[in-house]
Structure 1
Amino acid sequence: MTDTPASFADDLDLALRLADRADEISSARFRSRDLHVDTKPDRTHVTEADLAVERALREELASERPEDGILGEEYGTEGDAHRQWIIDPIDGTANYLRGVPVWGTLIALAVDGVQVVGVVSSPALGKRWWAATGAGAWTRDAAGAEPRPLRVSGVADLEHASISFQSIAQWDEAGYLDRLIALTRSVWRDRAYGDMWSYMLLAEGVLDAVGEFGVKTYDLAALIPIVEEAGGVFTSVTGTPGPGNGSSLASNGLLHPALLDALA
């Protein structure tokens, strides 16, 4: 464990233990032939593993932090929002149910609406990333491996940038497809790596920017501390901070003004 400000050290430790529990549950059902899948009212999928992970984390939080509130993708909001744990039990459910290894559990703590702890755990990739305000951002490549610090890239010009746009359909539905196409013509490289992995590649300095639409608070809350503690900037596509704006634009910071201009 890396040094963490005393105010959030216990919270980060708890979040990492919650991630261990989530990994046990999700890994056991990944690529199972009898995995049960339902369709939610918004036409997205939910698996038995999504539900089991969130139930387990809620039970742990009820025991460890009974005064704190919880916001989860599958079971909604409960408790006080002053200190709120935000859970996406399996980010990348479509990948999970198809057997694609790009998925993970997202766990965040927000205090008065500010994300101060974030953990992203991707057992199928053998990776975990985490951060707490003032403690930097960290990753490890396998269980028991030595943590290493994260730092965003130093790319300062769009013509040298590598970006991830997540999904053409998202940008088309949001009315931004023409601007996305124009942006891809001005950068060095564009790909759609998808879900939480794009943002973690940004924090590692491998990508330079990520943009996305159709996202909810639980999709982004855990990512924000990691990107920001790695030196990046995280806003909506229109430049508004926070995870509840329906879109995201994360970058190494140096490129953020140019990206906002390109998408305006």
Structure 2
Amino acid sequence: MLINNKIYNSRKNFDKLGIAYEKAENVIIKREVIEDINCYWFNKNESVNSKLIIYLHGGCFVFGSIQSHQSLVSHISKHLALPVLFIEYSLAPEKPFPFSLDDIQKVYENIIFQYPENDIIFMGDSAGAGLAVSVLSRLNKKGNKIPSCLVLLSPWIDLSCSNNSLLINANFDPILTKKGLEYYASLYVKEHNLSEVNPIENISGPFPPTLILVGSREILLDDSKSIYYKLLGFQNKVKLSIYDNQNHVWMLENIHTKESKKTLKEIKWFIAD
């Protein structure tokens, strides 16, 4: 499928987020093809020990790559002192639902086969956080081993785009719009029924300890609240942290702010607990 110029140019612009600030010093990035899917290890040789992170990038299911997220993920790996595996999953509209979920599940199953003793941490931002929730629900339905921890950064969980914060925060969110999310959701859902695809409607427990981080200015604020209350039905250890005056995935914009540094510390504390 050929993509239009708007999507092509938007992808190029989105990738520029990866040079918004410098990558973390002394973090080594290595490409590895796993199950025919491009993946990238951050500091694999340094510490593939008891824990590793699988990172799922955001981008409305349409954008995102190692270029857009390399700087953010390098700082996450360095600060947490853990290896991170970044998955370049399939994107819509060329490969809509369920291609991305299939890619992530195949890589995850490969990793737990290679590292059966490791604790796997799922971490994702925006649409990537929604994909993490969907993959976890899939694994539960199959009776497979699930990750030991889940970290959601500004998650997009409800593709119906019907939560109140999409209207209440419309004048405060400089990044996302309800109309834009509805368009990108349609590219991802394609000919499928929305209820079949929507992460919030397909949650199947149990879920691991989960940390949810969201900015108060986001139109997706209520998505975080929805998943928080939903997961409390499966897991007592669920924490929702709302960061005042922060935009969507604020660490991607600037890793050096006081709030971003606080976020890294909170993630480190949560996954170590």
- Normalising by the residue count of structure 1, what TM-score does the alignment of the two structures yield? 0.29
Greater RCO between the two (CA within 8 Å, min separation 6)? 2
TM-score scaled to structure 2, two decimals? 0.28
